[in-house]
Structure 1
Amino acid sequence: MQAIVDLFRIETANTDLMRAQMRALRNQVPLLYVILAINSTAIAVTYLGVAPNWLTVYPLGGLLALCSLRFGVWLRGRRQPLDETRLAAKLRLTVGLAGALAVGFMAWSCALFGYGDAYAQAHMLFYVGTTTIACVLCLVHLRAAALLVTAIVTILFCLHVSRLDNQIMRAIGLNLVIVSAALAFVIVAYYRDFTRLIGQQVELERLSRENLRLANLDTLTELPNRRSFFASLDQAAAEAGAGGQPFVVGLVDLDGFKPVNDAQGHGAGDAVLQEAARRLHAVVGGAGVVARLGGDEFGLVLRGATALAATGEAICGALAMPFRLPHGGTAQIGASIGFAAYPEAGHKAAQLVERADFALYHAKTHSRGAAILFTEEHERLLRTQSVIEQALRHADLARELNLVFQPIVDARRGRTVAFEALARWTHPELGPISPAVFIPIAERAGLITRITAVLFGQALAAARAWPERVALSFNLSMADIASPQAAAALVAAIRASGLPPERVILEVTETALIQDVAQAQTVLETLKASGIAIALDDFGTGYSSLSYVHRLPLDKLKIDRSFVSEVTTDPASRDIITSIAALARNLTLDCVVEGIETDEQARLLKELGFVLMQGYHFGRPMAFPDTLRYLDSEAVRAIRPVQAVA
């Protein structure tokens, strides 16, 4: 019995189902009223003049007035959003009205039935059957209403024909019962399938939303990902272009993250990224969007940011605080930020990101650990770099590039042990361009490997003219140690030149190494296995050098000139240099001190135990022919005068 009662209940606990039922009824119930009005008017016309007007016209007028009222209500409802709070009440009202209309129309039909002849009664039977089926089909998504209409029509009609002394009518009533039972079965089965379908649709929508969320989410940090960032940026640009508030694009790069990740493991690196994301979100809050673009780079979209300097300072300060690692200990990193403001830096999203990236590059190059806003000066630099990049792309590198060489001296013996090759470029129209300018541009533009190939060939040719005791020291870029193929090309060039690999020293910087320490280690080991010496240039200027220097196949450490400039006046500089020398001895590495400009610096460093030195005090960079004259002069100075025999 309870199961039968449940068939006539509204499933108020299933909001998704009620929402789907209301949407379906909004489309179908107006049709129900149209069918009722047309069919009922037709039956009234059949009985007009046969049955009294008070029975034919007036009840129909009242029923049609109610139908018209409800028809208008449903039509208005189709243009309005669903009221989630009244779904159950509206569905209950629909069930109640369906039952009331079924009783009203059936009572009217039964009252008219006895007045007509056989044709009129046949029309009435057709009207009851077809109208009932049509109305039930319109209400099929609301099981309670469809079953209630079916039950009311069947019961009232069967009660009416059972009182008639007509076997045919009774047979028709029995047929109606059978058809109604079948119709009820279909209603129940369809409703079950409809409920299951809605459940599946809800699950599919949930999965779709989850997939969309995951497609726009960085799963590690729970921040929006690169795709979501650019969608937010496009939206902000569109709104600003339509008269909305301006905004600022920011790119945040973690300084010193890769050494932490390599030395402490990916678990520690992930923990740092998660905490960095939390700190960024805490600083930015609801003032904008924070997204992870990939690796250790984050993107910001700050709407209407006026206190940009304070925001940048707060972000850098937050990310400079120590990070607690999962298995104990802490990590110290920093952050550099590039900002680009709309519309000053551009109107299009891609342009703003390009400007922010340039500002970030400028920050990492000149103001590491700070926030830089893209300005008109940066725009001029960017245009200049664009001109230089195009010039590089179309340059005759073999003719326009050349090398100068600076001696590396054994200060105790007073002789040159190597020359460092330094790149120079003279463009036919732009004139001389500093390597500090064109090398970074070439690296960013992917042109550096071509430059390396040309210059390395020139350097090897020059070294063949030097005495065997003089080695060649050549600088490599990030791209040159990015793959085993690049290392193989360097080895092949040395073999083709005929110069012994033992006379070649390849210098790499910390900045290049920390891009991918594991890959760099593989490439350097390949070079070392060929007999080439490896020197770590600018040692001490990067992050966490000690955490990975022992893992690399190094032969020399080159102490950066920044530690030498004040070595004679600053005890702290002397202590740092002495510590580096001790580290080199413990790792059995040679140590080269760069940037020596005075005799006083040279004497002090010699007293501290340093042997290999380089700087203007010993020789400025010189062209290849000058290296030969320099070596000849050095050889002459080394010859001691022969004492005359008495």
Structure 2
Amino acid sequence: MSFRTRFDVGSPFSRRASDLARSQFDAFSRQLPLLYLILVINSVAVAVTHVDSAPAWLAIYVPLAMCSACVIRLLVWLGRRKDLAARTDAELAARLKTMMRLLVVLGVSFTTWGLMLYPYGDPYEQAHVAFYMSITVIGCIFCLMHMRTAALLLTAIVIVPFTIFFLQTNNGVLIAIAINVLLVSIAMIVILLTYYRDFASLVESQTELRAKQAELQMKQAELQAQQVKLQKLSDENVRLANLDSLTGLPNRRRFLSDLEALFQSQTGRPTRFAVGVIDLDGFKQINDLYGHGAGDRVLEEVGQRLQRFLTPAMSLARLGGDEFGLLVTEVPDSQHLLRLGDAICEVLRAPFEWHGITARLSGSIGFATYPKAGRSPAQLFERADYALYFAKENRRGSTTIFSGEHEDTIRELGQIEQALRHADLEREMTLHFQPIVHVVRHHVISYEALARWNSPSLGPVAPSAFIKVAERSDLIHSLSIVLLRKALETMRGWDATTRVSFNLSARDIGSADAIGDIVTLIRQSGVAPARLTFEVTETGVIRNFERAALSLQTLKQLGVRISLDDFGTGYSSLTCIHRLPLDKVKIDRGFLEDIEADTAAQDIVRSILELCRSLKLTCVVEGVETVAQMNILRSLGCTVMQGYYFGPPMPMAEPQPATHEVL
């Protein structure tokens, strides 16, 4: 096999051949100086012993020329050794092939010179020539142990002529030497072949080991790359899991995690920080009027506006829906939170504009501070949420900070909730009825059924308190069913023309199951559905307008009447009137406080009355407490009223007339 064939690339065999050739080259590079040294020393020794017996050209000039060539070649080799190690496989193969030719030339030259020198001198000098040739070839074989082809070729060049030459001398000693050298050379060749095989196997094993190491390193690199990729993917998943996709803000999960971490950092003397919850007032109206796409656009802009307030001491998150959260880590005093909240509320009041549409809303904010308002993440967040609830109920569009008064209210509501959960609703709940009068026809046209609760443990509890607790604790449906059953039982004992209004909560009209129970109860009562009017609040309807509209339509088909209570306090009054199956509208009592002197309030009431007349809806004004209020309302065109002026809510077995004569 030629070196050219060996160094063809592209197959595992060529790779192994290349590694073997390079290993041979490395080993030969280390032994080549020794090879030249053996040739020079042995040749000089023979030449010195034949200086007096052989011609000068043969004893001096020829060995001097050959030894000089060896020295020069050795110097050239040493000078190129580093460059040769960096050459390509093909260049290395060519270089080794040149060395093979050079070894052949050297073998032929030194063998020929030795045989030509033999005839000169005495028997000792002749024996020296034989010794020179034998010891030199053995030394060269050792130097060429890693170059099998070169060693075999050099052995053949020297031993074959040497043996033939000395066998023809008819000298028994020289013949014995020739045979001895031949046998030793054969033994050396066997050793050479065995060593070369082991050397080649070792090189192949090293090559395979390096290949496996390279493969392992490649797999490790691939594994590391995959781990890096997986880590990046994991980091991205974590980022997305903690990010609100719509606004780009941290989400509820991240917010609560940051709150937990903030609590854990409060070692030693705790620092004061605050949790804030922002809720958008009127956002539901935007969704109902313009669609969820518009709602998403508003939420995006709200997120952008809120980010203007971000500082190293404040973080922001979207908690879900139209609710956002704040973490304020540096709170010098309550005024700082109030100023921050007022600034946020002011920014949120600015109009939202897109595609020629302009919408307005506001934001209510509740804050709770650590450690005063709570000593756990859950407690602090709940207190901030309660402060928000208080703001929406009492100061919509403003900021409320959780206080000791709120603490007392929560404690009181907690007691009410516990008592309500253990109450015997059938025995403890009663109904009072307040008349609704027609001031022109001078008679009571219906009664509003109002719940009353006398708790064995708490005593009389205000309806505003226990109704609120029932709505927030999911007890309202059970309460509504008990009270409606009592109202229907009372109506069965009254004249068939007497009508009753009954209040339904937002949770009642927001549940298909609750509406189904109400319909079943009415059908089983034996009371004509037309005698019953269900009152629903405007704010209750807009929580889930589509569900509420479907529930009210179901009740309407049964034959009952529908009244919209507290009209004018919500954000979608016109939407409610236009899209709901209404029979009656009740103007909120808040418009009556200064109606005698407040011309703006008079104009609003007059506008609502005209709207109801155009839509053929009955309009009721509630909260009338004085004759002056009644007279103003009559002058504005109102004919149906309700309030303490006409009679307070009272328990009664039979319908009673109004306590004042209607003038």
Given the two structures, how large is their TM-score scaled by the length of structure 1? Answer: 0.71
1:281 to partner: Cα distance: 2.0
1:384 aligned to which of 404, 408, 412: 412
- 1:51-80 per-residue CA deviation (whole Å, 9 max, x = no partner) reads xxxxxxxxxxxxxxxxxxxxxxxxxxxxxx
1:509 to partner: Cα distance: 0.4
What is the identity, as a one-letter code, of the residue corresponding to 1:250?
G
SS at the partner of 1:407? Answer: strand
CA distance in 2 between partners of 1:545 and 1:255 (Å): 14
Note if 1:203 corresponds to 2:267: no
What is the identity, as a one-letter code, of the residue corresponding to 1:310?
R
1:344 to partner: Cα distance: 0.7
CA distance in 1 between partners of 2:563 and 2:326 (Å): 39
Note if 1:497 corresponds to 2:482: no
1:427 aligned to which of 450, 455, 458: 455
Match of 2:369 in 1: 341
Mapping for residues 122-201 of structure 1, pairs under 5 Å: 161-162=146-147, 166-201=192-227
- 1:58-106 per-residue CA deviation (whole Å, 9 max, x = no partner) reads xxxxxxxxxxxxxxxxxxxxxxxxxxxxxxxxxxxxxxxxxxxxx9xx9
1:179 to partner: Cα distance: 3.3
SS at the partner of 2:620? Answer: strand
Note if 1:256 corresponds to 2:282: yes
Ranges in structure 1 where 5+ consecutive residues have no aligned partner: 5-102, 115-146, 639-646
CA distance 1:159–1:618, change in 2 (3 Å): farther
CA distance in 1 between partners of 2:195 and 2:411 (Å): 96
CA distance in 2 between partners of 1:594 and 1:240 (Å): 52
CA distance in 1 between partners of 2:292 and 2:214 (Å): 57
2:553 aligned to which of 521, 525, 530: 525
Note if 1:587 corresponds to 2:572: no
What is the identity, as a one-letter code, of the residue corresponding to 2:345?
C
Note if 1:239 corresponds to 2:265: yes
1:611 aligned to which of 624, 639, 643: 639
1:243 to partner: Cα distance: 4.3
Contact 1:528 1:534 in 2 (8 A): yes
Match of 1:360 in 2: 388
SS at the partner of 2:637? Answer: coil
1:187 to partner: Cα distance: 4.2
Contact 1:410 1:611 in 2 (8 A): yes
CA distance 1:556–1:347, change in 2 (3 Å): same
CA distance in 2 between partners of 1:500 and 1:542 (Å): 32
CA distance in 2 between partners of 1:231 and 1:379 (Å): 25
SS at the partner of 1:624? Answer: coil
1:470 to partner: Cα distance: 2.1
Note if 1:320 corresponds to 2:305: no
Match of 2:169 in 1: none
Contact 2:542 2:572 in 1 (8 A): no
CA distance in 2 between partners of 1:292 and 1:159 (Å): 81
Ranges in structure 2 where 5+ consecutive residues have no aligned partner: 1-6, 8-22, 35-84, 97-141, 153-191
SS at the partner of 1:346? Answer: coil
2:299 aligned to which of 263, 273, 278: 273
CA distance 1:382–1:241, change in 2 (3 Å): farther
CA distance in 2 between partners of 1:555 and 1:432 (Å): 34
CA distance in 2 between partners of 1:590 and 1:544 (Å): 19
Match of 2:629 in 1: 601
Contact 2:537 2:566 in 1 (8 A): yes
What is the identity, as a one-letter code, of the residue corresponding to 1:314?
A
CA distance in 2 between partners of 1:511 and 1:253 (Å): 14
Contact 2:443 2:657 in 1 (8 A): no
Match of 1:478 in 2: 506
Match of 1:628 in 2: 655
CA distance 1:466–1:197, change in 2 (3 Å): same
Contact 2:592 2:623 in 1 (8 A): yes
1:194 to partner: Cα distance: 3.3
What is the identity, as a one-letter code, of the residue corresponding to 2:463?
P
Contact 2:305 2:348 in 1 (8 A): yes
Contact 2:350 2:360 in 1 (8 A): yes
1:531 to partner: Cα distance: 0.5
- 1:483-537 per-residue CA deviation (whole Å, 9 max, x = no partner) reads 2221121122222221100010000001111110011011011000100101000
CA distance in 2 between partners of 1:411 and 1:267 (Å): 47
What is the identity, as a one-letter code, of the residue corresponding to 1:231?
S
CA distance in 2 between partners of 1:158 and 1:167 (Å): 14
- 1:165-203 per-residue CA deviation (whole Å, 9 max, x = no partner) reads 833333333334433443444344444433333332222
Of all paired residues, the percent bearing the same amino acid is 47
CA distance 1:241–1:338, change in 2 (3 Å): farther
What is the identity, as a one-letter code, of the residue corresponding to 2:298?
V
CA distance in 2 between partners of 1:377 and 1:596 (Å): 31
Note if 1:468 corresponds to 2:496: yes
CA distance 1:573–1:160, change in 2 (3 Å): farther
Match of 1:301 in 2: 327
CA distance in 1 between partners of 2:499 and 2:144 (Å): 116
CA distance in 1 between partners of 2:269 and 2:257 (Å): 19
Note if 1:563 corresponds to 2:548: no
The alignment yields a C-alpha RMSD, in angstroms, of 3.2
SS at the partner of 2:311? Answer: helix
CA distance in 1 between partners of 2:144 and 2:350 (Å): 87
1:350 aligned to which of 375, 378, 392: 378
CA distance in 1 between partners of 2:656 and 2:613 (Å): 34
CA distance in 1 between partners of 2:363 and 2:403 (Å): 20
1:217 aligned to which of 212, 234, 243: 243
CA distance 1:606–1:505, change in 2 (3 Å): same
Number of aligned residues: 496
CA distance 1:229–1:528, change in 2 (3 Å): same
CA distance in 2 between partners of 1:564 and 1:216 (Å): 49
SS at the partner of 1:579? Answer: helix
Given the two structures, how large is their TM-score scaled by the length of structure 2? Answer: 0.70
Contact 1:316 1:334 in 2 (8 A): yes
SS at the partner of 2:457? Answer: coil
What is the identity, as a one-letter code, of the residue corresponding to 2:296?
D
CA distance in 1 between partners of 2:632 and 2:270 (Å): 64
CA distance in 1 between partners of 2:272 and 2:265 (Å): 9
Contact 2:280 2:363 in 1 (8 A): yes
1:357 to partner: Cα distance: 1.3
What is the identity, as a one-letter code, of the residue corresponding to 2:416?
I
CA distance in 2 between partners of 1:158 and 1:386 (Å): 101
What is the identity, as a one-letter code, of the residue corresponding to 1:308?
L
1:550 to partner: Cα distance: 0.7
Note if 1:441 corresponds to 2:469: yes
Contact 1:240 1:246 in 2 (8 A): no
CA distance in 1 between partners of 2:222 and 2:200 (Å): 33
